[in-house]
Structure 1
Amino acid sequence: MSTRRNDLGLICPAGVESAGQALAFGRCADRLGLGRLWLGQYFTLDPHQVHVHLAASGVRTSRGTSVTLTPLRHPLEAALQARGVAVLTGRPFVAGFSPGTPDFVASMLGRPYPSPLDAMRRYLTAVRGLLDGEAVRWGEHDQGAVVLPGLEHPAVEVGAGVLRPGMARVAGEVADCVITWMTPPDYLRDIIVPALEEGAAKVGRPGRPRVITVVHVATRREGRNPHALAFHAARAHLSQPNYAAMLRSAGLPIDPADPVSGARALVNFDVFVSGTPADVAGELGRYREAGVDEVVLNPCGVLLAEGPEAALRDVEEIVAAFAPRWEADRAGAGPSRGLPADVPP
């Protein structure tokens, strides 16, 4: 029987506009034995619907969302969607959430969250409680309880999108996992992981949430400019103050008004990881050494510049170069924290 590895995943980046695009990524994840296929918050197709479609098309890889935005869904709807994917795919699911920018929150709810940290603590607690069969009160005055009827389903993890230590401490209190994006390994090791541990210790949890990190990748090929690929992949995030602040605190010279120089910095500081497949695999190993439990490959730059076939070719070569590290884990210290080395396909 073939096996899957829970420490390496793949995200279908950018907006999914067709079933065929998502299916190509899902079949790639299946073929390579990756532990999880991730979809983001798209405004083209809903990621939960896409995940169920992929299962109906024969894709067996477990799933996750990285991330959906809390203003779009009542916690009951969020729990129902997450549980539905687990039931209909027959696989474990990670439901990742983030509040989004204050402007987006205001456009959905009429005003920004008074405290995004408090809002996320409450939201994640409510979704987790609903998935666990608890009656949850919601709304400004906590009037009326809602509950999901009991239903057997594969495990659902509730995750928080995390960039900075404040949200990491909240996630340490209430989340099953955290999902980070464009976070350098040293920053994760020195800032995020200790904050997760601090939050977990505050409420007496036995261990921190597991850490999932989405990493931009591209292999070196003739005629490719990694700085241009990084700009394609990350210009929207580089223009957002929250990402710029996180990257500056990690030591990168980022100005949200100048995403071109920001893209150069991502490459120069190996946040956008490029090089030979062996080079990329080696850099991904740094994330694992920093305490990351699952590295998610994001070939967005190549996808946008050259198309899905080129992006997935990069993924296949990187995974092949990374495979010896899996074997070393089997023979040595074992898998990532708290997870089996592999699961059946």
Structure 2
Amino acid sequence: MSRSVSVVLPIVPTRAEQAAPFAAFVQWRAARALWLGQVLLSEQHQIMAQLGGMGLRVPFGTGVSLMPLRHPVQAALEARTLAAVTGHPVTAGFGPGAPAFQRAALGAPYASPLTACREYLHLVRRLLDGAEVDQRGRYFSYTGSLPPTPAPPVEVGLGVLRPGMARVAGEAADVAVTWLAPPSYLRDVILPALRAGAEAAGRPVPRVAAIVPMAAAADGRDVRAALAAGHAGHFAGPHYADMLARAGIGVDPDDPLATAGRLAAAGGALTGGPDELAAGIAAYHEAGADEVVLNNAGVGMLEGPRPVLRDLEALFTGNGW
């Protein structure tokens, strides 16, 4: 598989025009795709479709859409529609969300998140493949199909933090999407579980898209503060804290600056100049990531979009991308 670099939209837009400079960057630079995360301020598929209507037609990824918010049929329809209107492949990543969010959206968390994800991915993938489905699951059911229509391919992804979910991704996903996972954890924990799941299901090993925090060195910038601003909420989440602990990174819920520093020291967040950033990206590729997705959310939160674009331009230009 080819190794690539992509970009996360580092702001939460209320209009597509706010996201347009990043879509243009992907369109004109060697970035593979523009990824958008799940937020409740604006709906990511509509923002991406509007960008396509503005002529900024690029490959998109969602990392990750929360399953409790949409039935698998709607998820498949949205992803295929986005591919059709942009004319580019789409990576549709999904995840169950934290138990607290599941409870808020569904009334109770999934008793078995692994089962819920397995059912969800199987249904979305088969619908996208044009199959007639008759699934009666514990969490997700449907009988029927989607009417056929021409569209570029859609990859179905699963957000992966720990080995159990990695095995499910191996069984049912096209892409395993990691978040905050350092290269060593990806290599030693995620990939073996991913391969085991794929082998058990008799299917190819999914490719890996690693979403990685980035805070480039810049005059007056505290990179730890930028990383903490973008990810303090994740550090406080029990499932993220457990994953980071498994990766040997101690999480202090009362000191996100310290946690951010430990994450950067382990290579799980990229800091420094263009050469150092490129070396960090290469470490992910060497650990088994097929796509490294640069997440500058912290810099975007503290400084706005222009410094992020400046940092990305310096990185890509400095490395001849």
User: What's the TM-score bracket when you normalise by the shorter of the two chains?
Assistant: over 0.9
Q: Does 1:100 align with 2:97?
A: yes
Q: Does 1:128 align with 2:117?
A: no
Show CA shifts across 1:152-211 (max 9, x none).
110000000001111000100110011111110011011101111000011111x21000
Q: CA separation in 2, counterparts of 1:73 and 1:209? A: 23
> What's the Cα RMSD here?
1.7
Aligned to 2:246: 249
- Compare 279-288 and 136-145 and name the one that shifted more: 136-145
Aligned to 1:32: 29
The correspondence for 1:235, drawn from 212, 232, 235, is 232
Q: Does 1:215 align with 2:212?
A: yes
* SS of match in other structure, 1:29: helix
Q: CA separation in 2, counterparts of 1:273 and 1:142? A: 38
Aligned to 1:148: 146
Unpaired segments of 5 or more residues in structure 2?
A: none
Which runs of 4 or more aligned residues in structure 1 lie more than 3 Å from their structure 2 counterparts after TM superposition? 138-144
The correspondence for 1:169, drawn from 146, 167, 170, is 167
Q: CA separation in 2, counterparts of 1:43 and 1:248? A: 29
Aligned to 2:279: 282
* SS of match in other structure, 1:16: coil
| Residue identity matched to 1:43 | L
* SS of match in other structure, 1:227: helix
Q: For the Cα contact (< 8 Å) 1:241–1:256, is it kept in 2?
A: no
Aligned to 2:74: 77
Per-residue deviation, 1:258? 3.5
Per-residue deviation, 1:283? 1.1
TM-score, normalising length from structure 2? 0.95
Q: How many residues align?
A: 319
* SS of match in other structure, 2:34: strand
Unpaired segments of 5 or more residues in structure 1?
A: 327-345
Q: For the Cα contact (< 8 Å) 1:277–1:321, is it kept in 2?
A: yes
TM-score, normalising length from structure 1? 0.88
Per-residue deviation, 1:140? 4.8
- Matched residues, percent identical? 45
Q: CA separation in 2, counterparts of 1:31 and 1:39? A: 18
Q: For the Cα contact (< 8 Å) 1:299–1:315, is it kept in 2?
A: no
- Compare 245-254 and 7-16 and name the one that shifted more: 7-16
Q: CA separation in 1, counterparts of 2:14 and 2:196? A: 41
Within 5 A, what are the aligned runs for 1:85-96? 85-96=82-93
Q: For the Cα contact (< 8 Å) 2:8–2:294, is it kept in 1?
A: yes
